[in-house]
Structure 1
């Protein structure tokens, strides 16, 4: 047997023995939501709620940090007015037909910070544009190093013009308040993934 062939076989064998990366927690879409608010004519607050978030939280091998990977379904938005809902789903706002989801992936965060609260940085993709995003995690008193249900609350602010939503600058504030209430369920790993 040639040396390259043996090396290739060893690499394949090692890959099959290494644990597969699997999510430790799944975001429960039925019990999670995201809220947004933006000022209209600088006086009235325009609010909406995305009723479907899914994704997962994956712990590091040492179970000391976690990465949050969340998708928000744009069409799941609920608003008090059907007319305003159609407008925010239209091309000049969320453009839901072309960009059906909002995606956030966090940088690794310490589990202690998830319990005590703190900064949550990562990348937010909205309308096909990916930008750094900064959020604040509120204290949850929910140790993720133990298998259980957890609820994490997050809030922050983005500039809508950063994501190509620059229409109606005189009528709508550029600043958008975002909040997420994420309910996590422990995702049991398969026997060979510890």
Structure 2
């Protein structure tokens, strides 16, 4: 009996020791996701359309939110939210009103355009390549692909902008206004830089 009780005590002590070791070791091995915000001084989001007779119509989204998340496995994920009520088209008040109106972005019903990338390896930002993700606009969500340009510096997003472009079909999202005047494709341009973490 004494031997059995002693073995039980030893087993409990060993179990407690293992649990304590696991609790101490876990913070050293588990990685937390970290998030970096966009730098508003350098970040720009724009779009471009073409008329049926070749005129270029360019606009931008001055009101946005976005972040880069570094996931626990080291991959990156980008989230972008654009406010359609703030969209600007060149210096034209008329074109700006039309872009915000019910026959195009319809900002009263659909105030946001959102893009959430698939997790991707960090080196795609250095060498350039395809960035795939879910684009939600005008009540429709679809998978789309943007193309990242090769980095122009050793620390893209910190010392130089990350550049990306992507072309989508207006018809896929029900942006079917002005079909007689505008071609179907909309080209988005992204120029992103990240805020340096506070020290």
What's the TM-score once normalised by structure 1's chain length?
0.78
Among 169, 176, 181, the alignment partner of 2:186 is 176
Which segment is superposed worse, 71-80 or 151-160?
71-80
Query: Is the CA contact (8 Å cut-off) linking 1:114 and 1:139 kept in structure 2?
Result: yes
Instruction: Decide whether the 8 Å contact of 1:38 with 1:177 is kept in 2.
Output: yes
| 2:76 paired residue number | 66
Bigger Rg, structure 1 or 2: 2
Aligned residues: 172
Deviation, 1:59, is 1.1
CA distance in 2, matches of 1:185, 1:116: 21
More relative contact order, 1 or 2 (CA 8 Å, 6+ apart): 1
Structure 1 alignment gaps of length 5 or more: 1-13, 190-194
CA 1:52–1:75: 2 relative to 1, 3 Å: same
| Deviation of 1:119 (Å) | 0.4
Structure 2 contact 160–193 (Cα < 8 Å) conserved: yes
> Mapping of 1:96-115 within 5 angstroms?
96-115=107-126
TM-score by length of 2: 0.76
Measured after TM superposition, the shift of residue 75 of structure 1 is: 2.6
Cα RMSD (Å) of the superposition?
Answer: 2.6
Residues of 2 paired with 1:150 and 1:62: CA distance? 25
Using the alignment, how far apart are the partners of 2:126 and 2:37 within structure 1?
A: 18
CA–CA separation in structure 2 for the residues paired with 1:170 and 1:48: 20
Which has more helix, going by share of residues?
2
The structure with the largest strand share of the pair is 1
